[in-house]
Amino acid sequence: MNQVKEGLLDVVGQIRETCNELLPPFLKEIGIVEVFENLFMQVRLRTNYVLNFDKSGFQAVLDDDQLLALYRIVQELLRNATRRSHASRVDMKLSCANEKI
């Protein structure tokens, strides 16, 4: 019975993690920079490559669709760096110029 309970708790944990990956809580409230900081911290714990994040001066105001799209793009880039490229270093720069991100 304990094994079943532990298995169910593990499944619940995996579901929560998946939901957070699909739509991070507080994305709009805390902003994309803080969400990226949290994402990159998690990636650093699970991978062997160096991950640098330059967000200096980023102050663009993004709507909900832009926030989610940008998050998913970066998430996929990191997934590709981890699974396919065997990168030793990943540099991410978040900037806005001429209303382009």
User: pLDDT tens digits, residue range 35-92?
Assistant: 899 889 988 898 888 999 999 888 888 888 888 899 999 999 998 988 888 788 999 9
Q: Is residue 38 part of a domain?
A: yes
Q: Is residue 5 part of a domain?
A: no
* Residues belonging to the chain: 101
Structure confidence at residue 19 as a pLDDT band (50, 70, 90)? low
Q: Model pTM?
A: 0.71
- Give the number of domains in the chain: 1
Q: Is residue 100 part of a domain?
A: no
Range of the domain at 45: 27-93
Q: For residues 78 and 90, is the Cβ–Cβ distance under 8 A?
A: yes
